[in-house]
Structure 1
């Protein structure tokens, strides 16, 4: 427990404050680029062709570009906030995202930030299980096992692996999973190029922009999920030997990753068209080389799954260690029967928690309809909060008085836009995202007010929210009026989006 903090004031992720300056970074420019790529690129890239199928190749590529630019901008916001804190409190180093949240919003900001990171880790773990289950059910489909069956088969293995004390023993498997991921991408690109240049399709058959309103938000949610890596931003910047070059290095890395995403998604969609699956490896020809890569990728992810859930274990177990009763029993004499029993109960409780956590994640994964839809929902909700809303909010809180008006408006726009994108992405997922043309046939209930559809009314209200925010920046003495207007327009937009969601869901069920 941190010195000077009460037990109930300890942060979720344990000791985060450091009153000494950290040692200087040692990473070169090339090493930092590699670290950024490893921190961002993951299995989500294999779902991008499906995102382009839902949104259209042009709209999907645009979504990837927007996500890349927004990711770079908001990562720089975090660095600017940390630099601001360094000038005001030179003896205290802000090292983590949670530290920044506490500086901006107090203890509530730390808990909010780290709770969102916790939820995003759970979402990533569920995506891992879905990815493994769907690939194994595709390879061994002759057995008749479903995706849920394979997911529950993994539970005993993952529980046993989660009880390993040192994660360093699993590091080789993480490298193995990355190698298999690269091999899978190479095989997909090879087959895509063969199909594209083999004359097996017509370019005119591939839609550029989906006619449905939810295609672009769906692709944007998937792209945000693929770019998620904000928890490592400050650590990556601090690891550099020459920190002044971080912005240029980050820009080059994000541009390269975005280009890779666009090329991979484009060729995948061009090759398979409307038959594109939510995980592109499911479209591969079932020969021995492709099957070997799929199985190898799944094996690597099975052994790296404990690394994904380790931050969750660290959060809960850290809180347990900071509890008064745990510290009391931990300091008791070993010969004391009560102290020994209490410590045994504590250790058993931690093992039990890890087992229950994995079982709960597997149970949740068994109800998720598919990797693509789930990734888009996680990306447009939790990941968007971590990636865009919190950096913009922290930037306004910490640097607001010194910012030009256009920067304030841009930060407000980022925070307001997330709400509309999230609503539309969720509607697309539940309204039949597996058929990119289904949006054409969805009923559009008209509002008598302004004669606008629900979705358009919701976006209009979001626009009014932005206007009110801008007016509030110009007339600070109207703060109360601004607050009431924001509540009004936000509530109307929520009702409009909810009404549209009900229509989508009822149409989907029928």
Structure 2
């Protein structure tokens, strides 16, 4: 909310969340339509877009439907591996914060916050990432989605515990928010747009998860029940956190918690959650890339090639994490450049193409065009602003001895 304002931030996050959930519903509806039409048990995001363009009345779209499928799959790979890289950095950074604290108070008083004078001689963050690298490689060797769902459930329980502790702290002694700005300038708002879409985007996983459900017909109901809860948590946590800490709020609100055993355990719980959900985010790019690679090797080598490429892909996310200059800026860049295309731009246009010959109401067409236009504007402006800030901070601030926000 710091990048958007105390009023505009929560309202924008709520509206974006509603639109993202609506676009998820559009994708599921279109996928069901083509499953019935093509007599197939399952179609993924790329196939749904390809079939949607083939159903379009425009010749140019029909002739480029295969390219659209490749585009969607490429964006899914970039987005999901980007998630994994950010997860890698979050995981290492949280453990770094806990491991290097020398004195943790047993009294969780509000004024006992973590300070940099209370840490051991700092180790390079990359060393912590290398420590987790073999464990993450072993984790992604489990490629059964049911097993990954179990891991993800364990991770979500841990994250829920950490979020509960965060709420218990930030709701204490909230100051009067009248001095906080109600809105921010458009540059910082564009960074907020990318960050918000990054946190809300999960459209790449909805079709694979539905395909593995025992009762797929219940998926839409579950989607519309779970996502509003997530949106409410995002909005309330961001708003209360900004009201509690104001301009002193850190990039990760965990860094604002007191230096005591109870609130330091939040970092451990959060890291456990990130660790187990890493494999679920890894699932989509692995299912796109590895079958293509395996198709080029003899059958006796398939298992070895499968495991080897999974290890290589995890190493790639580690390398990307090492190259991340500012985590908050990369999150904004990934959210604007990739997530917004998958979550806001493509689904509404897909609905128009899919049902154009069947007849669409004027309201539906206007609604879809509005959502896609908003996504396009956010994508262009957010990507530009994130690129500008990354280049500015790395090439123009280096002479001023700028340091990473998370180190």
TM range (shorter): 0.7 to 0.9
1:348-387 aligned within 5 A: 348-387=304-343
Q: What is residue 61 of structure 2 aligned with on the other side?
A: none
Change (3 A) 1:288 1:505: closer
Kindly state the Cα deviation for residue 133 of structure 1 after the two structures are TM-superposed. Answer: 2.0
Q: Deviations over 1:239-278 (max 9, x none)?
A: 596959947x655544333222211111111111112122
Q: Corresponding residue for 1:72?
A: 21
Query: Residue 269 of structure 1 contacts residue 276 of structure 1 at CA under 8 Å; is this kept in 2?
Result: yes
**Do residues 188 (structure 1) and 171 (structure 2) align?**
no
1:97 aligns to 2:45 (yes or no): yes
Which stretch shows the higher mean deviation, 288-297 or 122-131?
A: 288-297
Contact 2:201–2:339 (8 Å) recurs in 1 = yes
1:121–1:308 contact (8 Å) kept in structure 2: yes
The match for 2:12 is 63
Aligned to 1:57, what secondary structure does the other structure show?
coil
1:218, 1:428 within 8 Å by CA — same for their partners in 2? yes
Unaligned 5+ residue runs, structure 1?
Answer: 1-51, 331-342, 434-501
Equivalent in 155, 160, 163 of residue 177 of structure 1: 155
CA distance in 2, matches of 1:204, 1:151: 41
Structure 2 counterparts to residues 326-341 of structure 1, below 5 A: 326=297, 329-330=298-299
Q: What is the CA distance between 1:113 and its match in structure 2?
A: 2.2
Pair 1:209-2:157 in alignment: no
Contact 1:130–1:370 (CA under 8 A) maintained in structure 2 = no
The 1:203/1:427 distance shift into structure 2, 3 A limit, reads same
Q: Which moved more, 1:181-190 or 1:97-106?
A: 97-106
**Could you tell me how far 1:125 is from its partner in structure 2?**
0.3
State the match for 1:497 in structure 2.
none
Distance 2:307 2:5 in 1: 46
Q: 1:403 to 1:315 in 2, by over 3 A?
A: same
Question: Does structure 2 retain, via aligned residues, the 8 Å contact 1:94–1:100?
Answer: no
8 Å CA contact retained: 1:431, 1:507 = no
Residues 284-295 of structure 1 mapped to structure 2, 5 A cutoff:
284-295=257-268
State the match for 1:318 in structure 2.
291
Question: SS of the residue aligned with 1:174?
Answer: helix
Bigger Rg over Cα: 1
- 1:57, 1:209 within 8 Å by CA — same for their partners in 2? yes
Matched, 1:419 2:376: yes
**Ranges in structure 2 where 5+ consecutive residues have no aligned partner:** 54-64, 101-119, 400-407
Partners of 1:65 and 1:393 lie apart in 2 by 22
Q: Verify the 8 A CA contact 1:213 1:424 in the aligned structure 2.
A: no
Match of 2:66 among 100, 107, 120: 107
Q: How many Å apart are 1:147 and its aligned residue? A: 2.9
Cα deviation 1:363-407 (Å, max 9, x = unaligned): 111222343322222222211111122212212222224223443
User: Following TM superposition, by how much is the alpha carbon of 1:192 offset from its aligned partner in structure 2, in angstroms?
Assistant: 0.6
- Cα deviation for residue 126 of structure 1 reads 0.8
Aligned to 2:59: none
> 1:162 Cα deviation (Å)?
3.6
Secondary structure of 1:54 counterpart:
coil
Deviation (angstroms), 1:157: 2.8
Over 3 Å counting, the alpha-carbon distance change for 1:90 and 1:363 in structure 2 is: closer
Answer whether contact 2:166 2:266 (CA < 8 A) is retained. Answer: no
CA contact (8 A) 2:254 2:266 kept: no
Question: Structure 1 residue 176: deviation in Å?
Answer: 3.2
Provide the residue aligned with 1:302 in structure 2: 275
- Per-residue CA distance 1:279-318 (angstroms, 9 max, x = gap): 2112111211222231233234334433432333332221
Q: 1:90 to 1:118 in 2, by over 3 A?
A: closer
1:504–1:149 Cα change, 3 Å: closer
Q: Does 1:268 align with 2:241?
A: yes
Residue equivalent to 1:132 = 91
- Distance apart, 1:508 and its partner CA: 6.1
Please say if residues 341 and 379 of structure 2, whose CA atoms lie closer than 8 Å, have aligned partners that are also in contact: no
| Greater RCO, 1 or 2 (C-alpha within 8 Å, sep 6+) | 2
CA distance in 2, matches of 1:74, 1:99: 17
Preserved CA contact (<8 Å) 2:79 2:334:
yes
Measured in 1, the distance between the counterparts of 2:45 and 2:327 equals 28
Residue pair 1:218, 1:376 contacting (<8 A) in 2 also? yes
Cα gap change, 1:66 to 1:508, in 2 (>3 Å):
farther
Contact 1:427-1:504 within 8 A present in 2 as well: no
C-alpha distance in 1 between matches for 2:218 and 2:267: 41
Mapped to 2, the partners of 1:109 and 1:356 lie a distance apart of 27
